[in-house]
Amino acid sequence: MRLSPPSDQRDLLAPGAVRRLTRRRVFAVCAGAGVVAYAGCVEEVSAMTPVRALAAEAVWRDIAMQIGGDAVAVDCVMTAPELDPHLFEPTPATARAVAAADVLIANGGGYDAWMDRLVDAGKSSGARYIRISDVIGWREPDNTHFWYDPVIVRQAAAAIASAFSGYAGYAAPAIAARKEALLRDIDAIAARIRALRARFSGARVAATEPFLDRLLGALGLDEAHAEFQRSVMNDVEPGPADVAAFESDLRNGRLSMLVYNAQTVTPATTRLLSLASAARIPTISVTETLPPKLRWQDWMSGILDQIEQALSSNVNRRPA
């Protein structure tokens, strides 16, 4: 699979290091799918001044950087892999970074509700606020790990490119070209998912928590033990019956693959991994956040490599 080469990427900056940019604004109403414009349409930023963008998560920062190029300076709030977006508490430096931005990008769907609060508190700044949940028309209880779905990433890329072009019209052709290059890579990932689905659809798998549901569903895999996963996701101890059923499937080789979140390994997940190993069930480790120095498409390609290898090697795989 051919992916376009990575663009130059700036080092992650702490929110406190963000420099406020000088910008002029026109206070009017401006509508756009998935984009909230509190102060409305904005005059084009000077050609000498990059658009100031702030993403809540590293994965959306990466998408924004690939699209914006030199026309956009993108910073990120959640840079450390060990940070839990559900429990994250913003600091005054985070609030200042939000207030200084021209474009704000968040996952939405309650995944990073702290960003909503900061945007509401600083709505007079006039920044455009892109919530991916709004872009796709998300509704509860759908999974909010949107970045594992190429269809959603494609929609997000279009919304982000539109916002950047609105601020930096002088760079619109370059922004459009970079967006198209990214879309080609997204489509290549989607094509690979379809190819793997044709090979492995129906294989029975499980995960320690439901963060990868969107990708596993797109692959046509039969994901077991949903109640156990939901308990882990909600920081609730799984019920004894759920634990027993999960462990039984592992001991008896009734699963083709076990997925675990490398960022939330607990004694319970360690036990599941040990049972999988004893039964010779392949396990794959996936992070919930974009690893440093990787683009989204490289990260996704690596995850698909792991899945393909695991399902190709497992003798317990149920034929499609």
pLDDT tens digits along 202-218 = 999 999 999 999 999 99
Contact criterion met (CB below 8 Å) for 103 and 53: yes
Which position has the token pair 């109403």?
29
User: Of 149-158, 223-232, 246-255, 262-271, which gets the smallest average pLDDT?
Assistant: 262-271
- Tell me: pLDDT of 47 over 70: no
Q: pLDDT band for 253, please (50, 70, 90 cuts).
A: very high
The helix-helix angle for 226-233 and 240-251 (nearest 10°) equals 120
Q: What pLDDT shows up at residue 246?
A: 98
**Percentage of the chain lying above the pLDDT 70 cut:** 82
In the chain, domain spans: 15-190, 201-313
Structure tokens at 143: 């999974």
Contact criterion met (CB below 8 Å) for 225 and 246: yes
- CATH topology (fold) of 15-190: Rossmann fold (3.40.50)
CATH no., domain 201-313 = 3.40.50.1980
Average pLDDT over residues 38-61: 74
Put the strands of the sheet holding 283-286 in their side by side order. Answer: 222-224, 204-207, 257-261, 283-286
Helix (H, G, I), strand (E, B) or coil at 126: coil
Contact criterion met (CB below 8 Å) for 167 and 44: yes
The tens digit of pLDDT for each residue in 50-73 reads: 999 999 999 999 999 999 999 999
> What are the helix (H) ranges across 201-256?
213-218, 226-233, 240-251
Which position has the token pair 């490398």?
262
Average pLDDT over residues 212-231: 96
Q: What pLDDT shows up at residue 128?
A: 96
Contact criterion met (CB below 8 Å) for 151 and 161: no
Average pLDDT over residues 268-286: 96
Same fold yes or no, 15-190 and 201-313: yes
Torsion angle of alpha carbons 63, 69, 75, 78, nearest 10°? 20
User: Of 30-34, 88-92, 132-136, which gets the smallest average pLDDT?
Assistant: 30-34
Alpha-carbon distances of 258 from 189, 204, 214, rounded to whole Å: 22, 10, 16
Alpha-carbon distances of 119 from 70, 159, 177, 229, 275, rounded to whole Å: 25, 18, 30, 32, 46
Contact criterion met (CB below 8 Å) for 128 and 102: yes
Question: Comparing C-alpha atoms, which of 58, 3, 77 is closest to residue 288?
Answer: 58
Helices and strands, counts by H and E, the chain: 11, 9
As a whole number of angstroms, the distance between CA 320 and CA 300 comes to 23
Distance separating the N- and C-terminal Cα atoms of the chain: 24
Q: What pLDDT shows up at residue 18?
A: 29
Identify the H or E element spanning 299.
Answer: helix 296-313
Structure tokens at 237: 């101890």
Q: What pLDDT shows up at residue 233?
A: 82
Helix (H, G, I), strand (E, B) or coil at 82: coil
